[in-house]
């Protein structure tokens, strides 16, 4: 039987994962999110072979 090499995904840093989740929740609570429609448009452009930069919440017009 051949051995399978270890993957970078095998080693999970639980503290780092918890911090990332906390940061993500804080971003959502503060409204620092990218709307689904904007992400969908970006993905459609990628599928067509274009190379647009990913959308970031700080570059989008506010929807207050």
Is 24 part of any domain?
Answer: yes
pLDDT in tens, 9-23: 788 899 999 999 999
Is 3 part of any domain?
Answer: no
pLDDT band at 6 (very low <50, low <70, confident <90, very high): confident
Go through the chain and tell me how many residues it has. Answer: 64
Is 64 part of any domain?
Answer: no
DSSP the chain: -PPPPP-TTS---HHHHHHHHHHHHHHHHTT----HHHHHHHHHHHHTT--PPPP-GGGSPP--
What range defines the domain where residue 39 resides? 14-59
pLDDT in tens, 27-47: 899 888 899 999 999 999 999
Number of domains present in the structure of the chain: 1
pTM of the complete model: 0.57
Is 21 part of any domain?
Answer: yes
Is 22 part of any domain?
Answer: yes
Is 1 part of any domain?
Answer: no
Q: How far apart are CA 32 and CA 23, in angstroms?
A: 11
């Amino acid at each position: 039987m051949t051995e399978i090499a270890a993957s970078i995904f095998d080693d999970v840093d639980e503290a780092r994962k918890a911090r990332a989740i906390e940061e993500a929740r804080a971003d959502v609570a503060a409204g620092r999110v990218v709307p689904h429609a904007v992400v969908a448009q970006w993905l459609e452009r990628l599928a067509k072979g274009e190379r647009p930069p990913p959308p970031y919440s700080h570059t989008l017009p506010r929807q207050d």
